[in-house]
Amino acid sequence: MNIVLFIWLLCVAVSGSMLILLLLGALNTAFPTRVSRNYWIEINNQVLNALFTLMSVYQHPSLFHHLFLLLRWGSEDVIELRKFYCKNGSYRPHEWAHIAVVVSLLHVTCFCQYMLCGLYWGYSRQLRPEWAENLFFILGTATPVIAAVYTICSPLGKEYDSDLDEEAKTERGPKSLLENWVVVSKPEWVGGLFDCGDDRTVGFLSCFCTFCVFGWNMERLGFGNMYVHIITFLLLCVAPFWIFSISALHIHNYVIGDIAGVAGIVLCAFGLIYGGYWRIQMRKKFKLPGNTICCGSASMTDYLKWMFCWGCALAQEVRTGNFYDVEDDNFYRKLVEENCEVVIENVPVGSEPSDLGERREGSTHIMDAPIQPLI
């Protein structure tokens, strides 16, 4: 994901630099006439508009989710919001009001970009109201800067010690599992990549309802809200085509317009790496084995699995999630004496752990997963 962000920043830097040079007159030699300069200024404006609109569309589902958590403000919601907006994820005085300010400013940023997008797509350069363009540009640029400064300078970005934070962590506490549930020390992927026939329902839904199944699987594995994942994944695979295609229609340059259109199609295809990114997180979180067949990199292999066989990759992830039980970043299985071997380590003499809390304080139960074919 860092590579994708770097590419986006590189495109913004190239187009933005050319726009600034044109506005400063540094390219008057290359574009001697005013008409040619205005022509290329408009092209760069359309490109930058597409890039920033795309980023706003990608970020807005998470912001809407944060707004929903802010309005609901339950105990779990508070903890979730602190991870994003509070330094070290700890309690802050009047944190609801401070977080509300930051979230509101970020929403204003996105809506200003949408208004700019409407101006660039709805009006030609000659008819576009300059006052509206300048207004939304200034607001859209200033609000994220203000949000960042506010986050750093307000109590959200400062160290704060409070017993309330410790109480919140204590109240949350680890969830107890039933007796005889054990940690799987070496989990395996359930089935190979192409073993979709092992569970035909999962295979069918993973292929034809990819977005919904993906979001549902991510939420139960502890990777965030289901609806945020569904909408974000859908936008990653659809939005680039529409945004760049519409922008291409307003560029009025066949070569650059075609490049923008092709870029939109390519970005839609690369939207599938979103699934690959979260497959990597799943593998690292639960210590699943990686495949280094591609360039000796397990991460690259995961990306390629999603790029070229997303249905099979998702089905394998769902089957694995179905086979195990998830609790506190670990896979668990119910202990069956006659079918599995249990290794107990670091158990104090005379102790008999009966629940998850006791196991964590004085013992560890480890069970090896069954050997599964892996591609």
Residues 201 and 146 reside in one and the same domain:
no
Residues 278 and 308 reside in one and the same domain:
yes
In a domain, 242, yes or no: yes
Residues 40 and 167 reside in one and the same domain:
yes
Q: Pick from 147, 171, 195: which residue ends a domain?
A: 171
Mean pLDDT of 263-267: 90
What pLDDT score was predicted for residue 314?
94
Q: Integer distance in angstroms from the first to the last C-alpha of the chain?
A: 24
Q: At what angle do helices 95-122 and 130-153 cross, to 10 degrees?
A: 160
In a domain, 364, yes or no: no
**pLDDT of 74 higher than 50:** yes
Mean pLDDT of 270-294: 90
What pLDDT score was predicted for residue 163?
55
Contact 261, 361 (CB under 8 A): no
pTM for the predicted model, two decimal places = 0.79
Residue 296 φ then ψ, to 5°: 70, 15
d(CA 89, CA 83): 4
Mean pLDDT of 348-353: 38
Q: How far is CA 253 from the centre of its chain?
A: 34
What pLDDT score was predicted for residue 124?
87
In a domain, 335, yes or no: no
Q: Pick from 142, 171, 200: which residue ends a domain?
A: 171
Parallel, antiparallel or unpaired: strands 342-345 and 364-368: antiparallel
In a domain, 339, yes or no: no
Residues 208 and 156 reside in one and the same domain:
no
What pLDDT score was predicted for residue 162?
58
In a domain, 64, yes or no: yes
Detail the DSSP E strand segments found in 162-265: 181-186
Q: The tokens of 163 are what?
A: 């017993």
In a domain, 353, yes or no: no
Residue 342 φ then ψ, to 5°: -115, 130
What pLDDT score was predicted for residue 3?
77
Residues 205 and 131 reside in one and the same domain:
no
Residues 71 and 142 reside in one and the same domain:
yes
d(CA 318, CA 213): 8
Q: How far is CA 294 from the centre of its chain?
A: 24
Q: How many domains does the chain have?
A: 2
For residue 101, give its domain range: 2-171
Q: If pLDDT is split at 50, 70 and 90, which confidence band does 332 have?
A: confident
Residues 140 and 47 reside in one and the same domain:
yes
Residues 126 and 248 reside in one and the same domain:
no
Element (H, E) at 282: helix 273-285
Q: Torsion angle of alpha carbons 135, 139, 140, 144, nearest 10°? A: 170
d(CA 119, CA 49): 10
Residues 316 and 245 reside in one and the same domain:
yes
In a domain, 359, yes or no: no
- The CB density around residue 257, as the number of other CB atoms within 10 Å, is 19
Residues 11 and 50 reside in one and the same domain:
yes
**pLDDT of 318 higher than 90:** yes
In a domain, 57, yes or no: yes
Residues 266 and 129 reside in one and the same domain:
no
What pLDDT score was predicted for residue 333?
76
Work out the mean pLDDT of the chain and round it to a whole number. Answer: 83
Contact 313, 286 (CB under 8 A): no
d(CA 367, CA 343): 6
Residues 166 and 192 reside in one and the same domain:
no
% of the chain exceeding 70 in pLDDT:
83
| 79/337: higher pLDDT | 79
